[in-house]
Structure 1
């Protein structure tokens, strides 16, 4: 009888909660609500959301599954954790590991592995290459070396690590996982995709746990060889900020996961988009090679521009900025939640509202950008234009890996264009349209490119479009 009473009481309590929430929101001046709740099923979600601004303005609400979410085109704000003093300490430790722990080794590692990548490409001159896969292996190698140290090369662990990370990314992006975000109660039904994701995550966690044990066993106080060493030293220190709690080894584990997953596919994807845009705009590719030849000398494949001197290559920097504008690392910034009642542009934003900044939408805003849909790197040669782009987000939630990603983009594109001319693999150029129904990043449609070593009489790479 008591159980029956509880079963009857639960719906009443849920209904009362919904009624109370509705009553509280009545008095607020909320952003307009876009009808429907299947928005996530749109094939090109960021562009679809940008289109809604024509009807609802730059800030509006959506029903995504069972939650209201706020989308802002103009106000972009470890990944999905709620803000707290402990989260702040966790983020600070991870960022310090990137900026301080490997400060002296980061650029040499990127240079060395990029040089090895170019040598592999030089061994197959003019052969069509699925370069997105090659970039993915390169960026995965870089982040693994920086996180775990060069012993993974000695023990030949990279192939297994790369396969594991790719498996996590592939299963995570499958529609059977993404649909759970739209209709959350589906997680309670049998889902082979969800089962595969859990298995992939278990393999990933096993790799990270093994590295944690090995690093702890060989740790020397006051010294570090890589980011995991640095973070383990950090959690061993008592917290200096009152009320922040104590960081534990589990925080090092999750920081390593964030670095591995976030540092592999995003940068590889941006590099691949850069190649696609340069195939469509051979005149920009030619100007970039002329800039490199002017600074380093023709055919000077062993010469380099240190990252601190990157201002010597203004067109290359502008090209990177333009690729990031048109294809930001994450087109919809990771969701954030308001910790207290606030307001934006006169609208009331209740506590607990999920906010999704539409970074790609902001980069295509015709009120801000001239010819926003056109690939035009020269726009960033004008003073002050770089500050308008927010490819990595901003504020407390800015992408932790931004310094490494920018270094990789600069070094890899410099080395690639020094050594090769990029040519289409056939008569048709690769598509500039992203794959439909992408999850977190804007994936390009599969394509191949021919890397013609410079000085071998390469012909014109194609026609501008």
Structure 2
């Protein structure tokens, strides 16, 4: 037995060394990056100091295009406006793939939905999403009315606090979530609903897991982690629970389907299933529908709700900005109780403030990775087909070569000398190219209408005895603020 291991161990060690040397040799063709160790690649770098600005630190050390090795898999990261532009804007078709994550390959064994899909599944569901959103009135008055209903509910929730210290997280998330629920499922939740609270728990755990060392280890050793206990198993259980919920909603809609007047995305999808049932190239099915709905709910709730939390925090931190927004609305809108999405054209400072909130606090740790579908050369480097590519959009929004005061909250980034709103090509919080955020238009409507309804009704300030709120984000896939309390003082009370 001893002789067996005396032969096998050196052989295994030799194979490991050979594989490592082969990996080092192949890495010479990629952009520079953290030194890769055998088996684990570069994750030692993150384990040494995982923080929300870790990608910024890597870019400062290795340049605006660098390689991070996830085990044996190279991940090329594009940092700063020029590198990101050259990647996803100048070469949109070369970077429109999605890598198959270990979770999809190991747990699902198939590609589903739209967010993490590629090829025909992605193309068909992306097209379906764009067309259906348009049919449901996104960007038009019909959707604006739905958002306004939730904005009024949100105002009522703040009014019930009677100016006392209040954590706005639950009320904001409920309001944003209900817009998505109306679009996807055709109904809304109460903030006290236990099912809604369960969905919040699921989103919070998924967000924390996505930027954990455990998640990185799972991507390298899925065959091992699949069998081991840990937080990943809890997250997968919660995700399956959300998918099961979507499956139940699909069945409920199927039983009461109104083919002549579809009310929500499930109704439209069921009609699409009917239309394409004889098309052998169709990727429309119940599995893809359930994942599409789950992705829509999670992505559409978490990002917009987090941005609104930052919005109120910044208004309390910069009271002079808050008052200027309110004066502008008073001067332009007068005594009118309603605010229209079209009003943003006449509210340049308010519009600039909302854009600056999205710029100063980009809500995602990083954009979802893409896959290079062709060999391509960018920034002087050859990127082979099949390489994972991450666009660091936060670095674009903080690029010191493009923004006058990137580290400061400064609405004048979006205003000219005469006070007119100025669109900036560097403003890419929703991404760009073929993979630009499907819900961009809906998110913009929500942010404007929720923000203006709240600031027309209340003056937001710190509770008595509190000097300031923490402005650094909590680490997670979405970078939300530390829990805080503020006071909403009705503006019509003198």
Question: Partner of 1:318: helix, strand, or coil?
Answer: helix
Partners of 1:44 and 1:80 in 2: CA distance = 25
Normalising by structure 1, what TM-score?
A: 0.86
Aligned to 2:345: 311
Partners of 2:15 and 2:49 in 1: CA distance = 38
Aligned to 2:55: 49
Answer whether contact 2:209 2:215 (CA < 8 A) is retained.
no
Change (3 A) 1:174 1:50: closer
Question: Partner of 2:53: helix, strand, or coil?
Answer: helix
Deviation (angstroms), 1:198: 3.1
Work out which of the residue numbers 56, 59, 68 in structure 2 matches 1:62. 68
Structure 1 unaligned runs (5+)? Answer: 458-465
Work out which of the residue numbers 326, 344, 359 in structure 2 matches 1:289. 326
Change (3 A) 1:358 1:407: same
The question of 1:142 aligning with 2:179 is answered yes
Q: Is 131-140 or 162-171 further displaced after alignment?
A: 162-171
Partners of 1:83 and 1:222 in 2: CA distance = 32
Q: Counterparts in 2 of 1:45-194, with a 5 A limit?
A: 45-73=51-79, 74=81, 75-76=83-84, 77=88, 80-103=115-138, 105-150=142-187, 159-174=193-208, 178-184=212-218, 185=221, 187-188=225-226, 190-194=228-232
Work out which of the residue numbers 430, 434, 450 in structure 1 matches 2:469. 430
Change (3 A) 1:66 1:276: farther
The question of 1:196 aligning with 2:234 is answered yes
Change (3 A) 1:308 1:237: farther
Change (3 A) 1:31 1:15: same
Partners of 1:84 and 1:202 in 2: CA distance = 24
Aligned to 1:358: 392
- What root-mean-square deviation, in Å, do the aligned CA atoms of Structure 1 and Structure 2 show? 3.0
Answer whether contact 1:222 1:233 (CA < 8 A) is retained.
no
Partners of 1:330 and 1:237 in 2: CA distance = 37
Answer whether contact 2:32 2:62 (CA < 8 A) is retained.
yes
Partners of 1:350 and 1:239 in 2: CA distance = 38
Question: Partner of 1:330: helix, strand, or coil?
Answer: coil
Answer whether contact 2:365 2:476 (CA < 8 A) is retained.
no
Change (3 A) 1:191 1:85: same
Change (3 A) 1:81 1:188: closer
Deviations for 1:314-350, whole angstroms, at most 9, x for unmatched residues?
1111011101111123241111111121111110111
Partners of 1:15 and 1:429 in 2: CA distance = 54
Change (3 A) 1:359 1:177: closer
- How many residues get paired? 441
